Every structure is written in C-alpha cells, then in structure tokens.
Chain A
Amino acid sequence: MWTSIKGKVLKTAFIDTLPILAAYIILGMGFGVLMSDAGYPLFFVLLMSIVIFAGSMQYVAVSLLAAKASPATALLMTFLVNARHLFYGLSMLERYENTGKVKPYLIFGLTDETYSLVCSQPHVKNENRTAYFFTVTLLNHLYWIAGGAIGNVLGSALPFNSKGIEFSMTALFTVIFLEQWKETKDHAPALIGIAATAVSRIVFGSEHFLIAAMIIIAVSLLLLLSRRKEDEHFA
C-alpha cells in the first residue's frame, strides 16, 4: 500500500516536472560548459549545484569566481539576484507548516520552478502532499545537478538544436498563471503582478528591475487588502 502511494506520487511529480527537466538539463548544461571553460573540474560543478541550487545565481557566480570577487560583493549580488525568493517563503509559510523532517530541504529547494508547482493547490490527496512537495523538490534538484555535470563533461554538443528550449519555463509559468486565473474570481493580485513587473522593466531596464517590482507588488497588495473587509472572501 505504502509503496503504491509513493509510486503514484512519484509519477504525478515526474509528469509535473517534465517541463522543468527539459529546461534544467539545458540551462544546467550551459552552466557546466561555462564552468569547464573557466577551468573548473566536475566535482566543483557538482558541489555548486548541490549546495547553491539557484540557476540564475550560479551563472552570476561564474563571473564572480572568474573576477575573484570579495565575499562581501558575492553576498550582496546573491541578495540582489535572489531577493524574489522572499515572496516564495512568505507564500509557503502555511503550506509548508506540517511537513516535518523534510521542511528544511523543501525551503532550501524553493527555486522559481519548484515554487510554481507547489504554490497552487496540488492535485494530490492531502495526506500525500508532503511526499509530493519533497519529490518535486528532489527531482528538480537532481535535474539541475545532472545538467551541470553533463555540460561540464560533454560540453554543449547535443544531437539536436536546443535553441529556444528554455521557453518551456515561460510556458510553464503561463500555464500556472492560467490555472490560477481560473481558480479564483479575484484577479487583482495577478493584474498587479503583471503591471508592476512590466512597468518596472520599462522604467528600470532589464538588469535590476525585479526588486523595484517586488516592492510595488508588496505595497499594492497590502493597500488592496487594507481596503477590503476582513471577511471578504474571493477564493
């Protein structure tokens, strides 16, 4: 019985993470190639993907390593690049509440892509939720580690032209956006998210707009909630 439940959760998690498998292998390979060009061996690539597990930050890390940046600079860059994770933790406070022993690992592995799968109502039974959260996080972590290793050892040569495959992330987030849109009548948060991010991108340029977007989103959502009565339920 126990194994059949686990098998079912594994199957659901694997199917849900397929788009992430495609993108993480390719993006991980890109990271592995950059690291091998910079002269770093496989064990160091594995170490980074295991202990950092943050895609865009690991790309930035390659330049920080090459420049022999100071630890203080590296820390500041890490906070700037990864500040968006604060939103993920804030959204998951309740949902990750009773996840027991695996809770630290779930929080550690809260990448954009993992978050996108766990932040909605998962389509698994309540008693299997923790197993689902854990399996999704672990699979994504393994895809990312594997991508980096493949890129570092074999280089970027693939038997097919993979240009554009990273669009699977955009498509994944879009599908989750549509699902969330259908699940609620309250579209104000989604519209605030789009407007704040788009305006910030136009005003501040493509490099450093995300923190501005986050501040606008947080302030707008808090204002919106303060104008609504406590008992109003849009869900």
Chain B
Amino acid sequence: MPDSHDFILVAVIAVGTAATRFLPFLLFPANKKRPRWLLRLSNVLPAASIAMLVVYCLKDVFVTEIQGFLPEVISLAVVALLHLWKRQSLLSIGGGTICYMILVQQVF
C-alpha cells in the first residue's frame, strides 16, 4: 500500500511535470506584449520539435547488428511511401505499425 512518502513523491512529480508545461505561459503571459523574436521562434518550433520527436523515438536503434535498425528503416519507408501515395494518415500509421510488428515478431 502507498505510504505518505509515496503521495509526496507523486505530488512533487505532478507539480514538476505541470511546471515544464506551464512555464512558457507563465513567463510570457497573454496580457503582456510578447517579444518579436519569441513569436518568430514559436512559428518554427513545431517543425523542429516534431523532427526531434521522430529522432527521439529512434534513440534505441543500433547499427552493430542488422536487427538493430532494419525493422525501423523498412517500417519508416512503408510509412513514408504510403503517405506520399495516399496521404491518409491512419493508413500510413497503421500500415507502418503492422509492418513493424510483423518484422519484430516474425522476421527478426
């Protein structure tokens, strides 16, 4: 059963997590004029952040063995090709995911 220390830790982690999400809004509140560089930065951040997330998801691939990277490479190619072909997000995501599951479960 959780004791009081467990509750304290959960409270600290919840507040800390919320802080990382709220901080930009607290630093640059809506009622104050935001600096020009910040607005320009916030226009280019989504592209950079999503790129960062894609690479972050691939952080555990390794190139010393073929099964360390080939399922990811093939499945990403499937996602990209499906998307360039049909441009149906669910099809691209579902197709790539099923491809990856088959590769890591049956092939490699």
**Chain A residues in contact with chain B, CB under 8 A?**
15-16, 18-19, 22, 39-41, 44, 47-48, 51-54, 57, 61, 64-65, 68-69, 71, 74-75, 78-79, 82-94, 96-97, 107-108, 110, 112, 115-116, 119-120, 161-165, 167-181, 184, 186-194, 196-198, 201, 206, 209-210, 213-214, 217-218, 221-222, 224-226, 230, 235
Contact = CB atoms under 8 A, between A and B. Distances in A.
14 contacts: A41-B1, A65-B10, A87-B52, A89-B21, A91-B46, A93-B28, A96-B25, A163-B101, A170-B54, A176-B50, A180-B46, A180-B50, A192-B48, A194-B51
Given A71-B9, A82-B17, A85-B20, A163 B104 contact: yes
A168 to B, nearest CB: 4
A221 B46 CA distance: 12
A18 B60 CA distance: 25
A127 B94 CA distance: 30
Interface in B44-62: 44-60
Given A87-B48, A190-B48, 17 more contacts: A44-B10, A51-B14, A78-B20, A89-B25, A108-B21, A119-B46, A119-B50, A163-B101, A168-B94, A171-B75, A174-B54, A193-B50, A201-B55, A213-B52, A221-B48, A222-B41, A225-B40
Contacts of A89: 20-25
Contacts of B18: 108
A65 B6 contact: yes
Chain B, interface size: which category? 35 or more
A163 B92 contact: no
Interface of B is mostly: helix
